[in-house]
Amino acid sequence: MPLSLRATSTPSGGSPRWTMGIMVSSDCTRVSAALVSARGHGLDLQAEVYDGLIVQVPRETTSLWRHCTDIKAVSARTVSRLPHPVGSHDESLAQESASTGDAGEILATIGGLRAQLAEVEAAAALALLNEASVPPDQILAMGVCDPGLWEFGAAPRGGYLGLCDAARLAESTGMNVIDAFPARDLAAGGQGGPTGALADWVLFGHPERNRVLLDLGRTARITFLGAGAAERGPSRLLSFEAGPGTALIDLLAQRLTNGEQGFDPGGRLAVQGQRLAPLMEHWLADPYFRRSIPRWHPRGVPPDRFLFDALQMAVRSGWSIRDLLCTATHFVAESIARATARDLPSDAPIHELVICGGGQQNGMLLRELGLLFPNVPLLRTAELGVDQEAIGPARAAILAFFHIDQVPAGLPEVTGCDVARVLGRLTPGSPQSWQRLLSALHGARPVLRPLRSAV
């Protein structure tokens, strides 16, 4: 059964444009959807998140996703099961045969995953429209974001395959679909993300106050939302990873409780330990923190090497898991503070810190952030009108608006691309929906002023 989200605001007056956003969670266990209405066009967009819901992805679909992300392991196991080849030529043929067999299995798995996800996405979209009493032909387009399948090293910046079966989704819902936002950024020399930074400015930016959107997810990500006059759009915009986030804390909490707890509720386990200065110094000296921005990876910052180092040092020094957990919480907060000091504009003081992600439930982590950012108010996104679970699909919906209005959302300062590009791939829905979108596209004017003057 879908879990309804609170309607964050209700459009009133006039005739706003509508899009829908669909977001597949990073572990492919949930699909969230949100309706977004907007007035204005391009960088003058004023958006409201109207309503949303969440549906669980069936287990068999999630299993397909896990299988797809383990392609190399599957290939290795297949080769190891073959009879030992006699010579190098035989070995080459055996590996080619195994590779060919694996390719067929992989293609079938990916095709099945995309088809099943399209069914879940379509069901979520239609359920949301029914719940909100909004007719499908009112929606200009549906923006879809998903974790995708990434291959690094296949191209200068890697390869990307989105999980959205746009044709099947458009056929099922009748709506126009815009997806594959990272693909164009990769083609333009970028990292493929973060693609939602400009959408975050629309949702949370302020014309007079510099805000930092701090995503306390498995990886801690900082998005600087510089103050700017409404008619100009954001004056400055940056988005990058600060370091490991709640994933490191969660792994230590699981170890401390023998797997009984998947995370540290409220930080209550961490406060029972003490901060280990040698471990903090070791972690903060990691080469990762010397990398310059743009700094982003689709899989985030892996916590494993930080955990491995910590456990080795703990054995030698006799530290407890509680001490490691306490230090990890301090470490996440400290790495965020250092990243803001190093990478954000020195002439733009932070006026407000806007918190999202699962880490906002960790009281000890929030306390440490409060100490490291004195006199800076900490706000949750819900206080600004967007529930936590609606952020992802709302970003996708706004990216759809940007595609329609021909606003480049792939920005060199954010993704490292060579030139700003409009992101997304458009798949037509029903003839009626397509004609309505064509009219909207005909009336849209591309952004003529250089984005450098706006970002």
The structure's pTM equals: 0.87
Write the secondary structure of 236-272 as one string of H (helix), E (strand) and C (coil): CEEEEEEEECHHHHHHHHHHHCCCCCCCCHHHCCHHH
In order of 95, 229, 251, 262, the CA distances from 328 in angstroms are: 44, 39, 10, 15
Strand partners, 35: 20, 51
Q: Name the average pLDDT for the chain.
A: 86
Q: What is the pLDDT of residues 208-260, one digit of tens each?
A: 999 999 999 999 999 999 997 444 556 589 999 999 999 999 999 998 888 88
Angle (CA) 270 274 279, round 5°: 100
Taking the CA atoms of residue 315, residue 319, residue 320 and residue 322 in that order, the dihedral angle to the nearest 10 degrees is -130
CB 407 within 8 A of CB 449: no
pLDDT of residue 83: 40
- Show the tokens assigned to 430: 């029903």
Residues 30, 55: contact at Cβ < 8 Å?
yes
The span from the CA of 63 to the CA of 194, in Å, is 26
Given a cut of 50, the residues of the chain with pLDDT beneath it are 1-13, 72-100, 156, 229-231, 448-455
